[in-house]
Structures are given as structure tokens and as C-alpha cells.
Structure 1
């Protein structure tokens, strides 16, 4: 079982599985040429590729989009981010997938309006990945010079290979976790979705 292998071997298995997804590999390769600061390909396209491999599905099956995060705090204007979005759309115009790019330095400017809870400014792309609604989602991969894969996985890879979705109640509200896990469970019914923690009553 991959989840019981030493960490280095899990990383090798993770890279091997992701490499089966031709779309993901192409997105990684093109993203590396864009020169975006602190960039990672992250979230669903990574763990869902693993879920597909573990459950015998086609590598890209059920993957809605490919999230490309970067971090640029030098210009927090929408115009600057939109310029990057337009450039990315042009770079990926012939890729058979939706590539969504976001500057994680700007998230605090719109997060509360969208999700109903305030978000402190992030300090890096890794900081943003740490706040995903499920620990299983907290993954990032990028290509560095020489073709080296940099993998960010603060909660490890065991849950990903074991099809376990674990809540990460540090920012996103319960409703976000429940909406995501409900959608995922329809596509991958083999998942084990752990419940959102219940607040402990204050001691009297």
C-alpha cells in the first residue's frame, strides 16, 4: 500500500501517478515557462488524478479545472491580476482543460464577500494552500529549473492515496467543505469523507 511507504517513496509514487495525466503534465510544463512568482499547480487536479489512479479511472476523469496559483504582493490591483489571467488564457488556449489562475496576495480583498468570513492577507502561495477547506486539498506542485518537481504537501500524502477527505477548519466555513465533499462523493463514491468538527461546548 502506497500510504505505508516511506515518504520519499510516496513522493516518487505521487509524481508517477500525476505523470499519467497528460493534461496536467502539459499545464505544468507551460506554467513553468510563464515565470509567475511563487507559482504552484494546486488542489483538485492533483488529488483527483490520484483518486482516479487508485480507483481505476482515466487520469483526467472528473477534473473540472486546473488551479494555477501565484503570489505577487507588489501590485494588488485587479488590473494587474487580470493582465496575468489574460496572458495565461492565451498560453493555454489549445489545452483541453480550463486553467484558472489567481494571485493569492489579493485573496483577502474579496474572500469575505464571497464566503462570508474574513481572510487575513497571505504571506505566500504556501500560506494560501494551507487554508484549503480539506487537508487532503493542501497540495502544490511546480517545475523548477532542471525539471525538478517541487512538491508542497504540509499534511503528507497518505490521505490522498487512501481516498480520505479530512476537514481543515482554519478559514473556509463548513458550508464550503460540505459543498465540495458532496460534489466529490458523486464523482468518487469510494471516498471516506470525515465530518466537520463539532464545536466543543464551553466548560461551565
Structure 2
């Protein structure tokens, strides 16, 4: 385990809301699940800038992988997760089957999206390497980290386009939102 991974895990463990989400989702036993994106990397940014734990977190994105790509199957998992949380977390936890993303992605974001084979594969397609980080609370209480581009951009507070995909159509909006909350960010175009 790298020093940055250890540091990220310490930051995750120090966030009570994040740990509650991880503990609750682990109990739901979703297949191949991972909590990813903002709720994870923003914790590192808050740590770096001295902001409070949880500052800027808009939601908790939970991805899982179920080969049943029907809406009805996904809706069962969404409702089960919603029933497991009280407010305000109930409204902030978003559960999505990564096996279904290719069905709706192009209509929503105007770019093609090949089907995924597992949850962690989704991280390699996120708009920026700094966003491509996920964690899972394992059965033995360890926290596993998935970060296909590593964690250097996360801790350096650098946002650059994902080199494996075209620049996202909503790139400017994403950057403006992040800079409004963390003006210390460096953006590499």
C-alpha cells in the first residue's frame, strides 16, 4: 500500500458520514460495489486546505455491478439503499448499476459509452484522473482503494482531462463547480 493510499484511508476513516455510508452499504451486500468520486477525493482536498470534514460533498455515489440490466432490478437496489438510510443521507446516497451505464450515458452526455465488465472499470472513464478514485469497506473492516490513475493528482489538487477519453462535454461546468469550492485547484487543460 502506498503512502498516499494510507493517507486517503485515514481521511476516509476520519469522516463520520462517509464511514456511515460505507458501513451501511457494506451491510446491503451489493454485488461488486464501490463508493466513488467526490465524496472520496474531496476529503483529500479538504484535508489539504484545512476545510472541515465533509465540506463541499454534494452526494455519495455508489456503483455496483449486476449483469441484470433491467430498470426493475436496479430499482430494487436503489430502494433497498434508500430504506437503509435516514435523512439527510437518504437524499444524498445515489446507487447505480454500472452494468446499465451504457444504456443511458450517450443520451445524457452526448458521447458513446461501451458496456463495462465490472464496477472499477468505470473509474478509468471518469472525466479526470483526480475524480477516478473509489473506496470500499471490506468484510474485515479494511478499506480498499481503487484508483486507476493513482492518487498523485488527488493530493496535488490537480484536475486534468482523462487521457483515455475525449474531453467531457460538461468539462467547463465541472471545473467551475470545483473551483468555486476549492479555488486552490490547478487545472491542466
In 2, Cα distance between equivalents of 1:175 and 1:118 = 12
**CA-based RMSD:** 1.4
Shift of 1:173: 4.2
SS at match of 1:146: coil
Equivalent residue number for residue 116 of structure 1: 110
SS at match of 1:145: coil
Shift of 1:172: 6.0
In 2, Cα distance between equivalents of 1:190 and 1:91 = 36
Shift of 1:190: 0.3
Equivalent residue number for residue 122 of structure 2: 128
**Is 1:35 aligned to 2:29, yes or no?**
yes
Alignment of 1:167-178 (within 5 A): 167-171=161-165, 173-178=167-172
Structure 1 unaligned segments of length 5 or more: list them.
Answer: 1-6, 196-204
Structure 2 unaligned segments of length 5 or more: list them.
Answer: none
169, 176, 182: which one pairs with 1:182?
Answer: 176
Equivalent residue number for residue 154 of structure 1: 148
69, 74, 77: which one pairs with 1:81?
Answer: 74
Q: Which deviates more, 95-104 or 143-152? A: 95-104
Deviations 1:52-102 (CA, angstroms, capped at 9, x unpaired): 1110101101110000000001x1110110111111111112454600010
70, 94, 98: which one pairs with 2:92?
Answer: 98
In 1, Cα distance between equivalents of 2:17 and 2:65 = 23
- With over 3 angstroms needed to count, the CA separation of the structure-2 counterparts of 1:58 and 1:37, relative to structure 1, is same
Rg larger in structure: 1
**Is 1:26 aligned to 2:20, yes or no?**
yes
Shift of 1:150: 1.1
TM-score (norm 1): 0.88
TM-score (norm 2): 0.94
Equivalent residue number for residue 198 of structure 1: none
SS at match of 2:25: helix
Q: How many residues align?
A: 188
SS at match of 1:76: coil
User: 4+ runs of 1 displaced by more than 3 Å?
Assistant: 94-97, 169-174
Shift of 1:175: 2.4
Equivalent residue number for residue 15 of structure 1: 9
43, 50, 53: which one pairs with 2:47?
Answer: 53
